[in-house]
Amino acid sequence: MRILIVDDVGFMRSFLSRMVEKLQHTAVVADSGSTALEMLKNDSTIRVVLTDLIMRDVDGVQLYRDALALERLTDQGSAALPQFILMTAARPGRNAQPRDVERINLAKKIGFFDVLYKPFGEAELGDILRKINAGSSDDTVAEDTLTRQAADIMRQVIATNDPATVQKFLARVGTDLKKMDDLASQLRRTSVQKTLSFGET
């Protein structure tokens, strides 16, 4: 997998790149959130973003929010948003400020795949990347572009962290869900009828 490492400390970028490469993945690096956004925009093959929380320009959570608004186009249509992993040396209950704890909790809520506390080893990162890899190979079978786009939109709604927006979205989607449910039942009935008529012939 192609993995984008976002960290404003060169030493960590270098260390993490080697770790990623040792795990048989390809590492690309960005030294800031804005560079990372640019790379995400231009490189639709990036499958995972490993981002630091505390950086000089935007923090890791803001980077994720900004990335949600990106349109990543490929020849096959729009590319899915990569999976995001948050990294931080700010440990809740030890050296994290209340704001950091808030950001870490928000990250978990809005759709980050996982949070890694620095220092972490190759084994911990490897486990997470394996889970992502397994998940995304299932996705390619199960998800078409429309389903992926719907999932991205839902993540954007969650990322607003605004109960009123979520409420409005759910109310709006409720009607469509009912229609889709009716359609699914109709399809099931048709399929049963087809099977029965096949059995009769």
**For residue 92, what is the enclosing H or E element?**
none
* Interface residue with other proteins, options 17, 25, 36, 81 (CB under 8 A): 17
Measured CA to CA, the distance from residue 29 to residue 38 in angstroms comes to: 12
Here's the x/- map for other proteins, 91-120, by CB under 8 A: it reads as: ---xx-x--------------------xx-
Please say which residue, 101 or 151, places its beta carbon nearer to other proteins: 101
Q: Which residues is 85 bridged to in the sheet?
A: 50, 114
**For residue 65, what is the enclosing H or E element?**
helix 60-68
* Interface residue with other proteins, options 70, 90, 151, 154 (CB under 8 A): 90
14 is a site residue for other proteins (CB under 8 A): yes
Residue 59: exposure state from Cβ atoms within 10 A (0-12, 13-18, ≥19): buried
| Max CA pair span of the chain | 73
* Interface residue with other proteins, options 10, 77, 135, 153 (CB under 8 A): 10
Provide the binding-site residues for other proteins, judged by CB under 8 A.
8-15, 17-19, 22, 29, 31, 52, 54-56, 89-90, 94-95, 97, 118-119, 121-123
